[in-house]
Amino acid sequence: MFAYPKAMIMDLPGEKRHLAFKALPHELFSKEGRWYGYAVSSGEACELPDEHCRVLSQIPSTFTLFEDIHRHTADMIASRELIDVLQDLADTGFVKPFDKHTRPISSINIFLSTYCNLNCAYCYGGEGRSDSVPGGSYGMQQEQLSREMGRKAVDYLLKTSGTREGGSAGGINFFGGEPLMNMEVLEYIAEYSEEQSCKYGTPKPSLSITTNGLLVDEKFISLCKQHHIGVQISFDGTPEVQNTMRPTTGGLPSYPAVEKAIGLLGEHGIRIRIRATVSNCNTDLMQSIRHLESLGVYDVHFAVASGHDQERFALADHDFKALGSAFDDVGRYMTERTREGKPFVRCNNLLSAMAQLHRRNSKNFACGAGIGLASLSPDGSFHICHRFAGMDDFVIGHIDHGMDYRKRLKLIEQMHSDSHEECRECWAKELCGGECHYSNHEANQRISVPNRQMCDLHRSILKTAMAMAAEIRQHDEETYFRMIDNAM
């Protein structure tokens, strides 16, 4: 049974005063002047002191901050007594404590730049785009992240590393816009994080970058090798698709530059992952797989397009059905290559699903957005993830002023799959966690209402992964376990 150490609440140090509680299903009643209660979840049936009943009556069935409970009960109970009462109610199953909204962010997507040198048709940062500046601004001011803001991000991760399991320093993913348009600050953050972790004897934050590849050069590659920066390239595969969906801001083809970047990274032994966006013009995933294989790339994650220009690229129901079949084709390809002992392009969508099924991992959230993950904009504001950048409703704090715990708590509650009515009878609920929050918001203007098309696709991918796992494990168990161990 859950029980917070009393000191966590009693002393109310810093963020701890923002712990939350909600009432669980229960029944309270009186007999001959004495109060009794039954807690449904724990089966606890007991007599309750008057102050326990009074406090319990003030706690709603949605998570409420401790400071708010204290404010509503101050005229009936002192703060130290309230702490003891909440502890007792948690121990007996009448209330549930919650602290996810108080946890330090462990993974930050840093917007190094809101400028870009591409003019992607499906750019979800396209709001606020103007002809006078390249790329999209996510509705924010076009700007570059400063060195000072980069320093603060590293300091934040190092300062909070001691609060994480194993003392992990967390991670930074450089994002944009196009992050390589702010190479100076990228280099500064990489060097500063190394210096500070050595100075204080703390782990260094892991570093990665998501880039379109146009500005990859020897200097960038040297920086990646020196600081172990993981590289993911946004690239849609064949020249026809890449040039149509991802032209430069000047309207020129982008494929030649990205092809050159992939080759250069390969020559230097830097393993990359491709993030390929799927629109209505490239649902044939095997065509993309074969093309990536010809370029010597063996790691890809497919993501369904989203953005401002829906009419040009949006997937209709028949496109989603075709995409489900396309993942079946990729599954057969990977299975056959495994049986033949030949190398193959690893489709992360399927491998991650296989690993999750094998490990029997269940989850209540689609991802760590707003809990362990947040994006940092050039102005210092934290959003629940990079896809919500520029949207005020999803700002959860500021690197200088701290977190808005009340707002963060409210958003986390909305993201929890238990708040998704459509998920309650779904067999994949605990494998999916409620679907991508941004995808839900884009489709339904609410993060608590799943995107039906994406749900159907996710279930299809899980079924493909189950079949793959059974066949590969039966044929070669050693290879199966190696695939599971290497899946992200």
Strands 272-278 and 299-304, by their bridges, are parallel
**Domain end call among 385, 415, 445:** 415
Percent of the chain clearing pLDDT 90 (strictly above): 80
**Which range is least confidently modeled, 40-49, 80-89, 384-393, 455-464?**
80-89
222 located within any domain: yes
Residues 6+ apart with CB under 8 A from 195: none
pLDDT-derived band at 165, boundaries 50, 70, 90 = low
Residue from 346, 342, 315, 354 nearest 330 by CA: 346
In this predicted structure, the answer to whether residue 2 has a pLDDT above a threshold of 60 is no
- Dist. CA 40–CA 459, nearest whole Å: 32
Determine, yes or no, domain membership for 42.
yes
Domain hosting 68: range is 6-98
At residue 122, the pLDDT reads 87
Tell me which DSSP letter residue 400 carries.
T
Span of 31-35, 58-62, 163-167 with lowest mean pLDDT: 163-167
Sheet with 45-48: list strands edge to edge.
26-31, 34-39, 45-48
pLDDT of residue 127: 54
Report CA 8 to chain centroid distance, whole Å: 28
- 365, 382 contact by CB (below 8 A): no
392 inside domain: yes
Residues 254 and 370 in one domain: yes
Please give the DSSP secondary-structure letter assigned to residue 105: P
Q: 126 and 52, same structural domain?
A: no
What dihedral angle (degrees, nearest 10) is formed by the CA atoms of 330, 331, 336, 342? 70
Q: How, if at all, do strands 107-111 and 171-175 pair?
A: parallel
CATH code for the domain in which residue 89 is found: 3.90.930
Report pLDDT digits (tens) over 430-471: 999 999 999 999 999 999 999 999 999 999 999 999 999 999
Query: Is residue 468 in a domain?
Result: no
- Co-location of 72 and 141 in the same domain: no
56 plus 130 within the same structural domain: no
Provide the pLDDT for residue 142. 83
pLDDT digits (tens, 9 = 90+) for 347-367: 999 999 999 999 999 999 999
pTM listed for this prediction? 0.90
Tokens 């849609």 locate to 236
How many angstroms separate the first and last alpha carbons of the chain?
31
Task: Please tell me whether residues 93 and 138 are part of one structural domain.
Answer: no
Give per-residue burial for 225-249: e unless 16+ CB within 10 Å, then b. Answer: eebebbbbbbbbbbeebbbbbbbbe
Say yes or no: 139 and 72 in one domain. no
Q: Are residues 42 and 153 in the same domain?
A: no
CATH code, domain with 162: 3.20.20.70
Are residues 157 and 86 located together in one domain of the fold?
no
pLDDT band per the 50, 70, 90 thresholds, residue 138: confident
Q: Are residues 40 and 155 in the same domain?
A: no
